[in-house]
Amino acid sequence: MRESTHFQFHEVSGTRVHASMMLNADHHQPFGIVHGGVYAFAVEGVASYGANAAIAQEGKYAVGVNNSTDFVRPVVEGTVDVIALPIFQGRTQQLWGVEITRRSDGKLVARGQLRLFNRARE
């Protein structure tokens, strides 16, 4: 299990990423719920790990070019699970889908898609 500043990674591969985040008042917007930008950050961050794992051996890296995140239900605090799966993995682009669920009840909190451009390392 790897940790970063914001995510605890449970699984990272080019075909699936599972991470979790502990959310609390530090992540709130002025109305006392987790800010939607936190979920957009999670979509971008977790899908990017998977996309880069998928192409690392080709001498490439992936950069996000479009992030579309929908916020489904509010969270005040607690742990969420973030699961990213590839929808399309091509030579120059990838598209990943991400679902964020509350660990306490498994309900969907947010979902998103990240499109990435595969670049050659120079």
Q: What's the whole-number mean pLDDT along residues 70-88?
A: 97
Total number of domains in the chain = 1
Beta-carbon-side half-sphere exposure of residue 69 (alpha carbons within 13 Å): 24
Please count the residues of the chain: 122
**Domain CATH number, residue 90:** 3.10.129.10
Residue 92 sits at φ, ψ, to 5 deg, of: -115, -15
Domain of residue 104: give its range.
2-120
pLDDT value at residue 122: 80
DSSP, residue by residue, 1-27: -EE-SS-EEEEE-SS-EEEEEEE-GGG
Give me 105's structure tokens.
Answer: 């009840």
pLDDT digits (tens, 9 = 90+) for 41-71: 999 999 999 999 999 999 999 999 999 999 9
Q: Which positions ≥6 away from 31 have C-beta within 8 Å?
A: none
- Check residue 110 and give left, alpha or beta (phi > 0: left; psi -120 to 50: alpha): beta
- Whether pLDDT at 3 is above 60: no
This prediction's pTM: 0.92
* CB-CB neighbours of 121 under 10 Å: 8
